[in-house]
Structure 1
């Protein structure tokens, strides 16, 4: 038996796919996988089949035509083609997370492209034209893919564009990551939070004293539920930063602080949580300054902090910013507003 890939278009009508598969079955062809790509010209069926050794390309083409298939393409396949498409895409996505510079190679592997070319200039009219695909690179530039056959489908374009966008996101995240050196010489990594930080952020909360959690959540000393923390990690508007250290065995990160800027209208509300053994070392001030810089660049009118009146360390951290502030006392709660004088057009992601 021999592995083949077959791609053919059939009318997108009930029963037409079964006619094609029956025609292949009559010749002893075993269908291992099938993907259906919906197009304007009909349903493009992509098969991986195991055919008797006696059958050649002409025999398979004839079987497809008798099964009402058209625009047929047939090619020998290898054993690696047995991996289903979702598994292949996930594998390539995992590779890009580790090495975003491999985007071109990943696209070639995903689509079996003959050539993949990246250009620094954007190409208008991204999309597919038979055997040519143009992809916009969110990081700037564009990819051009070509293959002799078969023609590209909209589903393939969507998968390819998703991989390109993933690689651009990884590059952007890496650019936003900085090494922070505290006054006592300790080094940490500060970066935007991601959903995968949830477990480490839960550990951060559990490693903080009840007093620290009480000050952060203005009365609630318990660890917030995962659903709430997940929303804080990736806010709809704003930015969450985490400060991390590498574990002693070098295999994982430990989150020792997190800082939020949550957008509300033209103001941003800020809150910090620093693990007890990292407090009073300048980490909170450094995180607050980074959020302040982000708010300036994004175009917020002001930052607002709600602080318990007894939380002297946090109030001193705000004073160290050396920015004008408006302070409002309401019983045990102090609301500090930091006007932002540098205004740029607000961006709403």
Structure 2
């Protein structure tokens, strides 16, 4: 017996697949796996079969044609083809997470492409697929071009490949957010995106902060948030959370600060919590700048901060950004909006954070 891959198009009508499989069965061909790719021309059926040694390529093609199949492609396969497609894709994704620079290699392995190249700029806005070529948009810029003489690419293969490219871009962005910051006083901290494993460290951060620091962060109270709420902050549905730690940045290292970027429509809300003994060292400013950079790369139009009018340290941090800023006041609460599309003209000095400081001074003076 020998393993073969067979790909053929059949009319997407009830019973037509059974006619094809019956034609193969008459020649002693055992179907091991089958995938169905829906296309405008019909259903493209991809088989892995075990055929008698006496059955060759020409006879397999003839069997497909007698079974109402067309555009038939047949090639010998190996035992590794027995791995089902979802398992294979997950394996490639796992390898890609460990090495996002291997995107081209993973695409070649996924689709058996003859050629994979990367272009600095996409040829079309949103990619596309043809019979012998495929264009995949790289979210980080540029595009991957894949070519395969046979068999023809299908829309389902395009969707899998584009998902793999987007996964690589996500991993690359996360790695870009993993840095060691050198603070103005010479101190060093590791900054990285948070995970669920950081829950214990973030709880410890909140417990080490004063009630005043927690109240400034959460506005409504000084209690330590529940574990369920902190888990949602560590892995937000939209946005990102950064943690600053001592040591090499492992989950077991003490957490010194947490910075949240939570997406809502075309804006994202930003909030910071820095351990009391690490405040006034430039850590909050560094984290805020990184969040703004992430928000800009993610396509948000602006970031919003809700700040108590008496919170001078946070207002100074916003002013140091050197960006045009608008402020709305509701009682003792200021809503600070930082547009991401353009910077202030002229001197480049922020237009409105100084108003916030003036407002804070008026509050203190009564």
TM-superposition CA deviations, 1:195-232 (whole Å, max 9, x none) = xx123145412553184655533326243353664256
Separation (CA, whole Å) in 2 of partners of 1:165 and 1:43: 27
1:105-120 paired onto structure 2 within 5 Å: 105-120=105-120
Shift of 1:3: 1.2
Residues 1:130 and 2:131 aligned together: yes
Give the aligned partner of residue 208 of structure 1: 206
Separation (CA, whole Å) in 1 of partners of 2:140 and 2:308: 37
Give the aligned partner of residue 258 of structure 1: 258
- Could you say if the C-alpha distance between residues 279 and 39 of structure 1 is closer, same or farther in structure 2, counting changes exceeding 3 Å? same
Give the aligned partner of residue 89 of structure 2: 89
Separation (CA, whole Å) in 1 of partners of 2:38 and 2:339: 53
Residues 1:182 and 2:183 aligned together: yes
- Could you say if the C-alpha distance between residues 46 and 292 of structure 1 is closer, same or farther in structure 2, counting changes exceeding 3 Å? closer
SS in 2 for 1:208: helix
Does the 8 A contact of 1:33 with 1:84 survive in 2? yes
Shift of 1:282: 4.4
Separation (CA, whole Å) in 2 of partners of 1:91 and 1:283: 38
Does the 8 A contact of 2:196 with 2:234 survive in 1? no
Report the more deviating stretch, 18-27 or 80-89.
18-27
| Partner residue of 1:198 out of 190, 196, 199 | 196
TM-superposition CA deviations, 1:53-83 (whole Å, max 9, x none) = 2221122212222222111111111111111
SS in 2 for 1:344: coil
Shift of 1:166: 2.1
Shift of 1:259: 1.4
TM-score (norm 1): 0.78
1:228-267 paired onto structure 2 within 5 Å: 229-230=231-232, 233-234=235-236, 236=238, 240-246=241-247, 255-262=255-262
Shift of 1:27: 2.4
User: What 5-or-longer segments of structure 1 have no aligned partner?
Assistant: none
Does the 8 A contact of 1:32 with 1:50 survive in 2? yes
Give the aligned partner of residue 272 of structure 1: 272
User: What 5-or-longer segments of structure 2 have no aligned partner?
Assistant: 344-366
Shift of 1:14: 1.2
Give the aligned partner of residue 166 of structure 2: 165
- Could you say if the C-alpha distance between residues 265 and 27 of structure 1 is closer, same or farther in structure 2, counting changes exceeding 3 Å? closer
SS in 2 for 1:221: coil
Give the aligned partner of residue 145 of structure 2: 144
TM-score (norm 2): 0.75
Does the 8 A contact of 2:201 with 2:252 survive in 1? no
- Could you say if the C-alpha distance between residues 77 and 176 of structure 1 is closer, same or farther in structure 2, counting changes exceeding 3 Å? same
SS in 1 for 2:123: coil
Separation (CA, whole Å) in 2 of partners of 1:2 and 1:275: 66
Does the 8 A contact of 1:8 with 1:69 survive in 2? yes
Q: Alpha carbon RMSD of aligned pairs, Å? A: 3.7
TM-superposition CA deviations, 1:165-217 (whole Å, max 9, x none) = 222233333334432123554422334x46xx123145412553184655533
Does the 8 A contact of 2:8 with 2:73 survive in 1? yes
Give the aligned partner of residue 154 of structure 2: 153
Separation (CA, whole Å) in 1 of partners of 2:94 and 2:46: 25
